[in-house]
Structure 1
Amino acid sequence: MTDAVSIRVGTVADVEGLARLKIEWVEPGQVSRDEKDAFTAALADWMETMGDRLVCGVAESGGHVVGMAWMVVFDRVPDFGNVHRVSADVQSVYVQPAFRAHGVGARLVTLVCAEADRRGIPRVLVHSSSGAVPLYKRLGFAALDRLLARTHVAR
C-alpha cells in the first residue's frame, strides 16, 4: 500500500471504479468492454433508483477506488405504535488485496454503520464470509440465534 487511503461516501460518479471492483471480486476471467459497460450502466441505474435507500462507502487511494461497502435500507411492515420501521443490510464489502490488513474494510463498515446510526436505524444485518466474521464482531455485530435464512434451490 503506497498511498494513503481516504474513506468517503460514494456517489454514482464513482460507478466506474465500483463496477471494476464488483467485477474483480467475482473473478470472471476475461470481461469484454461491452460486458463491463453494460454492467457499469446497470449499476449506475440501480444506484440512482435506490436514492437515499443506499449508502455506499468508498476507499480511495491515488485517485482510484480500492474498496467499497454498501448499505441498503429497506422498509419493514408497520407495527402498531411504530409505522415507519426500517432495517439495513451491509453488503458487498470488498477491499483490493494490496490494501487489506490495514483497517480499510473496518473503516468502510464503520462509515456505513455511522450513517445507520445517524438515521436511527435500529438493526443492521450482514451476511459475512467466514473470514470476515472477526472484523464484524470487533465492530459490534453479533450472531443472532433466531435469524434464519432460506436459500432457493433451483430445480
Structure 2
Amino acid sequence: MKPYEVRAPRSDEIRQLARLKIDWARLDPAPDRAAEWAYADELASWMDRMGDRIVCRVAVIGDTLVGMAWLVVFERVPDFEQRKRRTGDLQSIYVVPSKRGHGVGRALVEAVCAEADRRGIPRVTVQSNRSGIALYEASGFRGSATLLHRDAPTAPTP
C-alpha cells in the first residue's frame, strides 16, 4: 500500500494547493500570509471559471498535500473530418522535496494522463526542465522534432 493517495483536491484544501503553487514558483521573497490567502482565493475562482477545462490531481498524506499536477484542456480548430479536437497540456507538476524519489510525481502524472485518456484527448504535451524529462519519459512522453514554440519578443504588460 502506498503511503499517499492521489485524487482531485477538495475545496477545503485550496490554501494548501496555493501553497504548493507558490513553492513550485520558488518566489523570493516568499509572499506574506495575506498575499498567499488572496492568491488562494484567486486560484479557487480560476478553477471555478475553468470548470472541466482543467484537471488537477493532488498527492495527499494524512491531511497534507505533498504534490500536485495540472492538465489544461484546449479546444482546437475543427477539421472537416474531426470536428471536436482537443489537446491537453500538463502543467505545474510539483512534489515537496521530502517526498521526491518515492513515485509520487509519476503517480500524479499517470493520474492526470489517465483522465485525459478517459476523456478521449489524443495528445498531452508537457514543457519540462532537465530534471523532469526522465519522469515524463517513464510515463510515455517522447520528444518531437515537429513541436515548436515561439517566445514573445518583449514581456507582455498586464
Q: TM-score range by the shorter chain?
A: over 0.9
Matches within 5 A, 1:1-155: 4-28=3-27, 29-154=29-154
Segments of 4+ moved more than 3 angstroms: none
State the Cα deviation string for residues 30-62 of structure 1 (Å, max 9, x = none).
322221111111100110011011110100112
CA-atom RMSD in angstroms: 1.4
CA distance in 2, matches of 1:116, 1:45: 23
| Equivalent residues of 2:24, 2:92 under 8 A apart | no
CA distance in 1, matches of 2:10, 2:78: 30
| Equivalent residues of 1:75, 1:86 under 8 A apart | yes
Provide structure 1 residue ranges, at least 5 long, that are not aligned to the other structure.
none
Provide structure 2 residue ranges, at least 5 long, that are not aligned to the other structure.
none
Q: 1:135 to 1:16 in 2, by over 3 A?
A: same
Deviates more, 1:62-71 or 1:9-18: 9-18
Tell me the number of residue pairs that the alignment of Structure 1 and Structure 2 aligns: 153
CA distance in 2, matches of 1:110, 1:14: 21
CA distance in 2, matches of 1:83, 1:42: 33
CA distance in 1, matches of 2:112, 2:47: 15
Shift of 1:11: 4.1
Identity of aligned residues (%): 47
